[in-house]
Amino acid sequence: MDRNDHRFCQLRAITSTEFNSVIEDLRSQINTLRETQQAQIARILYRPNTSLPDPEKFTGNAVKFDTWITSIQAKLSIDGEAIGNSKAQFFYVYFNLDSTVQAMILPQVAHANSVNIYDYQAILDQLTHVYMTPNMF
């Protein structure tokens, strides 16, 4: 075997080793992506049952606000995953309001829709500001 043949065999061995290493890395990445995809599919398909009853709609009666907000916060805290993602939770709060109260928070709904960020706490904060006056305690 001449010198060129020997160098060719060495390069071939090095290339083969590097190629096999890249293939193994790619296989590992594929397996990780498959596991991630399966976990995401399982989360989508599996939705737990709710534990608490739905709170009654808040009608705008300030005397009932403190019990309503406690109920809605408990519902979201305990059954949030069963309700769904942040958008579903946002509209869950919205639909637990009487239409007259819904009208008051339409700016938050419009803003959430425009920026595609749904945080139900924005609704609760505004309602708290309006209905939880310092004189109530």
129 and 71 part of one domain: yes
Name the CA dihedral angle for 78, 79, 85, 86, rounded to a multiple of 10 degrees: -50
17 and 72 part of one domain: no
pLDDT, residue 134, reads 59
Measure CA of the first residue to CA of the last residue in the chain; give whole Å. Answer: 97
pLDDT, residue 5, reads 78
Structural domain total, the chain: 2
88 and 41 part of one domain: no
38 and 66 part of one domain: no
Q: Look up residue 111 and give its two tokens.
A: 């803003």
79 and 127 part of one domain: yes
pLDDT, residue 80, reads 94
15-20: long-range contacts at Cβ-Cβ below 8 A with a sequence spacing of 24 or more? none
Amino acid (1-letter code) at residue 79: D
Give a yes or no: residue 117 inside a domain: yes
Q: Residue 23 class from Cβ within 10 Å (0-12 exposed, 13-18 middle, 19+ buried)?
A: exposed
Q: Which residues are paired to 58 by β-bridges?
A: 97
118 and 69 part of one domain: yes
pTM for the model: 0.66
Q: Look up residue 19 and give its two tokens.
A: 């190629």
Mean pLDDT, consecutive 10-residue segments, the chain of 137 residues?
79 87 92 90 78 94 95 96 94 97 95 96 95 65
Q: Which residues are paired to 97 by β-bridges?
A: 58
Give a yes or no: residue 51 inside a domain: no
76 and 127 part of one domain: yes
pLDDT, residue 1, reads 64
d(CA 93, CA 91): 5
- Cα–Cα distances in angstroms (integers) from residue 101 to residues 57, 106, 131, in the given order: 10, 9, 11
pLDDT, residue 48, reads 82
68 and 107 part of one domain: yes
pLDDT, residue 85, reads 93
- Taking alpha carbons only, the member of 79, 58, 80 closest to residue 132 is 58
Amino acid (1-letter code) at residue 13: A
Domain, as residue range, for 73: 62-136
